[in-house]
Chains A and B, each alone.
Chain A
Amino acid sequence: MAAIPPVIRIGQARVTSGLDRHSRLDLAAHRAEFGDLPVVSGPDLIRFAAEVDLRGRGGAAFPVARKLRAVVAATRLGKRHPVVVVNAAEGEPGSAKDKVLLTRSPHIVLDGALIAARALNARQIVIAVAGDGAHLQSVSDAVASDSTISRMTRVVSVPDRFVSGESGALVNALNGKPALPPGTKILSSDSGVKGLPTLLSNAETYAQLAILAMLGPAGYASAGLEREPGTVLLTIGGSVARPAVAEVPTGIPLGHVLDICGAQMPSGVLVGGYHGMWLGADAAYRVPVSRAGLAAAGGTLGAGVVLVLEAGSCPLGEVSRVASYLAMQSSGQCGPCKLGLPSVARSLAAIASGAGGIDELEAIRRAAFGVRGRGACAHPDGTANFVVSALDAFSDDVSEHMFRGRCGREVHDVLPLPRDRSSREESQTRLKVDWTRCSGHGLCARLVPELIQLDEHGYPDLLDVSVPFWLTRDATQAVEMCPALALSIAKEPVSRPDLAQPDGARSIPAGPGPASLGPARRPAHPQLVAHPAQQPKGKRDRTTSDLETTPEWIAAIGGRELTDRS
């Protein structure tokens, strides 16, 4: 089970309500916390969503009201019962909010799905999660424990890949096809699961929908900005002392959140995940957490992923690792993506290792802009944005690498990448060259141009990644056809010794999973202690976070107690 980060909140807790006192909200605790399930009619729900301008929280920020309206329209035309799909297949390695919600408070997501299903007269709810783990177990338990919902719900696990969470890929998977984005865009609201109109949205969106139905639009709009009311779930990770999933009202400066999580001398902050943008440290501390605010600063809110990159790690090396990962997370369907992204990754790796020059920089720019809009899904565009914004944000480092080879810093693997693949089809295999045997025949570069290109002497230049599922066949053929028997494909241990985690620095404390249902179990973190079960009354607790502030911590973050904001 992958460790999940602890939950903190700033201001009002809505979606994460009750998580300060319970490690997991089971049905009884959930009802005690949130009350009974509200009954909202379809038109009312659409009106609520439109009034507070609720947007999808999966990254695309599509207005929920429009989605609901489209499903209602498609239903009325076809006189069919729609399907409600909860997309909790967050393939983004930096994001943990959906996993945290499903692990610790699954019923709020189920409530939202049930409210939507009743409002739309849907008869089927599908909850799609990626891979295995505590979140899958927890949501299955939650579905089984609630007889109202277990009748109409099935839980489905899809492969834990970057593009599995794309709506088209998810619909394909639910229809029994491989989880790959479809070539022709079909709106899932028109024809989704089994050709039925389908309301497909992110897990946090359903939780927010439940909160909206419980509070009403006026109550929902009581927190956050006027234009984008409500709260947002952020996943703060990277070089922070306390990685966390944070529920914050919109409009709060990101610096506030970064201070609470203990960001360490950032040289840049990635907002919006691996399809997002890099912000300089100063801009990141000032920018308000909202779609408009982040967009104005040149970033994007995306799925609420905020990754801090410390100044002590080589940013280009970090970006290059992620770019290689993203290139291999292409599903290998669209030519510009499957050839363009590896060439971006290769040039970036050359610059990061000191072997690249101006021509590599040009190659990156050409390839990154060349893949835009030329794929079935947004993966090439998002990856291009990520790389180009990194070159912008770290331009000093780029010139440093150009002229000096290296910047003198090591790569500390700050940006998270999945270590272990839960799906069986993706074994961690790598191509290896026996350099004493290789004599530069060059057949391999023709057979797997995605992974191998020839250098100026005609010898193979391998991209340092594990072979993805869509390249296994080509890679095997390259191994079979190497005239010198120099190329081999080998199962590698997933964690390389040079990638060993430094002790304590970035280890994410294990959050309480469903295995530890007792309220006594708390995340074991030296600086954080359990909150007392009884909430003290009074104004001081308005902004109390889940993790109580110890005097040491307050001293560590600079002497400002956050609860003291009356």
Chain B
Amino acid sequence: MHPRRHRSKRVARLGQARPASRKRAALILAVPVLSLLLPALAVEIASAGGSGQLTRTAGDIARFLLFYSGVFALIALSAAVAAGLLATDRVVMSPDRRIFAQALHRTLSLIGISALANHIMLEVLASRARLIDGFVPFMAARNTFYMGLGTIASDMFIVIIVTGALRKRFTKGRRPWVWRAVHVTTYLAWPLAILHGLLAGRHAKPYVDWSYGACLALVALALTFRYIVLNRGRNAADPSQLARPNAATADRLLRQIGPPQPALYQQQAGYRQAGYPQAGLPEGYPRAGYPPGGYLPGAYLPGGYPATPPLRALPPGSGQAPSGPATSSPARYLPPEGDEDDLDYGPPWPRDTAAYSDGGPW
């Protein structure tokens, strides 16, 4: 009656659950983006001039970050390496702890790369390096070698962390080893980052040198442990550990128990041919779930239950329903004689409107 009006009217679609994945991705991306914006803002405010509290605070923040963000990046990435190594362990770590270690690994990597972005940004803003030094190695004016090491490490970490975030994509492809090959270069990038951290900037205190040295040693130890002790793999069974069949023992055992007997149900040859169990199970099998008084293994057959039946291909067509067009079975419901009066279906619906204008509630 109102086709135009109806067409313009949209049917509301309600009750859909909100997709959470996009929100999560935005939240994660916000961390490195903020870590870039924050120092830029601080430097901007501080360099705008003025003598207010805000300017002083911004200057303090910028100086603090310039001094420490590289340290934070190195500590976070070192911890991420350790957590990642821990997450692969199968000996001391339970699956739950491995999940926790992996979550920690990701969080620390995110913090590390954010701090790294912050570090590069502030070094550039402080004019201690040029923008190109952040990405192309060995271009720095001074301290070229150790600055270059840091640049290489930074580039590698960026590639490793971006591919790590896209790890899910690699599971579908045919080359999942690409991901692992990229990820394993961490063990090259990380020492470079440590060298850069200790030698490119201010002189580190001795305990810092010792700490990083200890970290390197521990990770090297853990890697050696992992690759030498564990890399045999859970699947690769040691052939020497496999039970060798002892022909003499087997022969003796076979002679004791006699030749293999077909199980009782296998003797019912026609049964399996019938397609589906019209014939029923042989005597002695439980037919209806649990017996009264509970289930007693071996209570039904004198020799206990038979072993698992061998898998055997059925002859074609034996176990299948009739294919092709539907075959109606003959009618099964036959009402008892003399029962027809009980089923009075009532008069048919009055067809003409006059028939029900005289009665009813309206």
Query: A residues bordering B, Cβ < 8 Å?
Result: 10-14, 17, 27, 32, 35-36, 38-40, 44, 48, 136, 140-141, 144-147, 150, 154-159, 164, 169-170, 172-174, 176-180, 213-216, 219, 222-224, 239, 241, 249, 251-256, 258-259, 262-265, 281, 285-286, 310-313, 358, 361, 391-392, 395-400, 403-405, 407-410, 412, 423, 425, 434, 437, 439-443, 445-447, 469-470, 472-473, 476, 479-483, 485-490, 502-506, 535, 541-543, 556-558, 560, 565
Contacts and interface: CB of A to CB of B under 8 A. Distances in A.
Given A155-B11, A408-B275, 11 more contacts: A32-B353, A164-B15, A178-B16, A251-B342, A254-B333, A259-B331, A409-B275, A425-B17, A470-B17, A473-B21, A505-B324
A157 B13 contact: yes
12 contacts: A40-B361, A174-B15, A214-B356, A216-B361, A256-B335, A262-B328, A310-B321, A407-B276, A410-B321, A425-B16, A541-B348, A543-B345
A259 B332 contact: yes
B325 interface: yes
B276 A215 contact: no
A526 B233 CA distance: 62
B314 to A, nearest CB: 6
A164 B15 CA distance: 8
Contact of B333 (A38, A258, A409): A258
A14 B168 contact: no
B349 A13 contact: yes
B333 A222 contact: no
Contacts of B345: 10-12, 223, 249, 252, 542-543
A88 to B, nearest CB: 13
Contact of B328 (A48, A255, A412, A557): A557
A177 B17 CA distance: 8
A129 B17 CA distance: 17
A258 B346 contact: no
Contacts of A17: 349
Interface residues of B, number: 89
Contact of A154 (B12, B15, B99, B280): B12
Contact of A482 (B171, B276, B321): B171
Nearest to B305: A403
Contacts of A40: 361-362
B308 to A, nearest CB: 7
Given A44-B361, A391-B289, A313 B321 contact: yes
B327 A264 contact: yes
Most chain A beta-carbon neighbours within 10 Å: one of B14, B102, B281:
B14
Contact of A252 (B14, B102, B326, B343): B343
Contact of B99 (A259, A443, A469, A506): A443
Nearest to B5: A144
Interface in B260-288: 265, 272, 275-277, 280-281, 285-288
Contacts of B14: 156-158, 173-174, 176, 179
A201 B276 CA distance: 44
B244 interface: no
B360 interface: yes
A213 B361 CA distance: 7
B77 to A, nearest CB: 20
B250 interface: no
Contacts of A556: 328
Contacts of A470: 17
Nearest to A259: B331
B281 A141 contact: no
A14 B350 CA distance: 10
Interface string B235-279: 100000000000000000000000000000100000010011100
Contacts of B322: 312
B205 interface: no
A503 B324 CA distance: 7
Nearest to B330: A558
B187 interface: no
B88 to A, nearest CB: 6
A565 B341 CA distance: 10
B95 A408 contact: no
Contacts of A32: 353
Contacts of A214: 356, 360, 362
B287 A399 contact: yes
